[in-house]
Amino acid sequence: MNANTDIKKPPILFEQTQKIISKINHNVDADFISYWISGNSSISGEDVIAFYEILKSRKCKETLYLFVKSGGGSGKGALRIVNLLRKYYKKIVALVPLDCASAATMLVLGANKILMGPLSYLSAIDTSITHDLSPIDKKYNDLVSVSQNELSRVLKLWEDKKQPNDANPYNELYEYIHPLVVGSVDRASSLSIKLTTEILSFHMKDVKKAEEISHHLNSAYPSHSYPVTLREAKKLGLNAENLDDEINESLLNLNEVYSEMAQLAYTDYDEQNYHDNEIVRILEANDIQLYYQKDKDWHYRTEERRWISMNDDSSWRRNLRVGGNIEKKKFYIM
């Protein structure tokens, strides 16, 4: 590694994002928070502390407009975020102009209303896990994720096409998928249904309806990434409506600025070493912006055929407007 190499750094566009957020705040009689996650990250349980940092000293209105853009992550993290937001707001309106998949779908199910734009979609929330005993991907030497949907389909295909002398399918299945992985996937699926039902119960008093929606999202779709559009969301029984055109346009503009902040910031030292300085998660409200930035070296260990991280200084960072000044500092979450 060359110590004299200039490390690429992503732009911090606080002033630009604050202008857009101020415009949105002007158009709604409610608080506004954006929760934006790049394709290289996901919802995490620690994000609830970042939300708390925004909320703890604010005089909150009755309603929150929550902009969510994410490809998924931790369902347990989604529940914790909904639980926190419900401590501060009587009503939550989810703004979904783009992708809001998997655990992000679980998160917006905690809203009283979901507003969806022409480019937006929710998704199925069936669970897949990567277990210590999962199969190994021979190409990249990584553990492979296994989903309940995949296992169920294998067993269903066997049941539909079995011959009189066919043995129990588990004998063959266990040669490729360890029994503990099968059990863990089933457990994770049950957890997903429980989390979804619990999140819906924050505003949906009909327990039976909440359970029906939860089971449908967890098992009714042939693909985890199946796009649940506004039309489908209404069929499910969700309180979903069209997102106002002006707000939708502002959110797309905000997404564009966040995408610029989250551009890849890799500095190559050589073929086996590089530095990663990418911003992957952003939370923002009026006068405050929190973002998680990677800040670490990566080394390719040839004998193991995998990348390992070194010199990791990744952390949350905070921009806070105080009077006419902007305070910038790291924000530590243990």
For residues 127 and 99, what is the distance between their CA atoms, to the nearest angstrom?
18
Q: 153: Cβ–Cβ under 8 A, 6 or more apart, which residues? A: none
Give one DSSP letter per residue of 268-326, joined into a string: EEETTEEEE--EEEEEEETTEEEEEE--EEEEEEGGGTEEEEES---EEEEEEEETTEE
Q: Cα–Cα distances in Å, from 86 out to 216, 287, 325, 331? A: 25, 22, 31, 24
The per-residue pLDDT string of the chain (334 residues; one tens digit each, 9 = 90 and over) reads: 555 678 899 999 999 999 999 999 998 989 999 999 999 999 999 999 999 999 998 899 999 999 999 998 888 999 999 999 999 999 999 999 999 999 999 999 999 999 999 999 999 886 665 667 677 877 767 777 776 666 767 777 777 777 777 777 777 777 778 777 777 766 666 778 888 999 999 999 999 999 999 988 888 887 778 899 999 999 999 999 999 999 999 999 999 999 999 999 999 999 999 999 999 999 999 999 999 999 999 999 998 888 999 999 999 999 999 888 999 998 887 6
Q: Which two tokens stand for residue 180?
A: 């503990």
List pLDDT tens digits, range 210-267.
999 998 888 888 777 889 999 999 999 999 999 999 999 999 999 999 999 999 999 9
Number of H helices, E strands in the chain: 10, 19
For residues 103 and 195, what is the distance between their CA atoms, to the nearest angstrom?
10
Domains and CATH numbers, the chain: 14-124+221-331 (3.90.226), 128-186 (no CATH)
